[in-house]
Amino acid sequence: MSEDASVSVLIPTFRRAEGLARAVASVLAQTRLPDEIMIVDNDPAGSARDMASQLTEGSPVAIRYVHEPRPGVANARNTGFATATGRIIAQLDDDEAATPQWLESLLATRSAMDCPIVFGPVTPLAVDAAPTARAFLERLYARTGPDHDALRTRDWGCGNSLIDRAAATLPDPPFDVRTNEMGGEDDLLFVALQDAGVRFAWSAGAEVIEHVEDKRARWPHMLARSFAYGQGASQNCIHGSKVDYPALLGWMAVGLGQAMVFGLAALPARLAAGPGAGAACLDKAVQGFGKLFWMEGLAPRFYGAASRG
């Protein structure tokens, strides 16, 4: 990779003015500034326009705003990729804030490991969550890995990722629009790239903090998220060029076992070993139900039209 390769930081946003301002401020505080910051506003009303305009004032980096009125997380990311000028796309969500060495670390890992896809650690922050809820949300929203750079086979998720578009052949568009409301657009892309032989790397120094808002720290939302994560393993078997029935049945069998074993163990684990153990068993049980009941009609809706109102 050329040291002067152009870099765009892509921040999709939906009705999070405060989070957007925090995310952009963290990018402007980087030890290695990008060539541009691309804000994709996915609110049909264009509610981030004024904030984006304010953020451009005095910025040392070009801040570009694009309005994608068609609701959906895949639509927002696809528009960002189509509009961004950088060879390299570093992605940051509008509820995340990057630590100062974030971009420099991602780029250094990209060069040192010769991997076009790089992921970094995500640390969730939820100030008011109770102990069991905090343990559960840390399992949902945290991304952890070794304390050193390494090759990886799975650290999927667009938030805190880097993609070198010149070194990885992406689908057109990159993200499957069938996932607009459910999410999982990142999993489908990275599974396809991995199947095509693209290598992934872990950048230990590229940490971001995810600010978990109140709604996302509540049990109904967290359980729905856990269920959806479990569905992802089974759904990936049906979203390829052909349905992989043996793999689908295998994941459903795994899900049945998870639901039974960890469902029965959740309360005893909580009482005997504390909130962390109880949350782990509950998460595994709910994800097990997701693997078993993977049908898209049962999939929770988090984005797009489902998030309006």
Alpha-carbon span 169 to 179, nearest angstrom: 20
The residues of the chain scoring below 70 in pLDDT are 1-3, 240-241, 304-309
Peptide bond before 173: cis, by omega within 30 degrees of 0?
A: yes
SS3 content of the chain, % helix, strand, coil (to 5): 45, 15, 40
Alpha-carbon span 235 to 295, nearest angstrom: 8
pLDDT at 211: 92
pLDDT at 52: 96
Q: Across the beta sheet with 36-41, what order do the strands follow?
A: 62-67, 36-41, 7-13, 88-91, 161-164, 117-119, 200-202, 150-152
Alpha-carbon span 95 to 282, nearest angstrom: 25
Reported pTM: 0.84
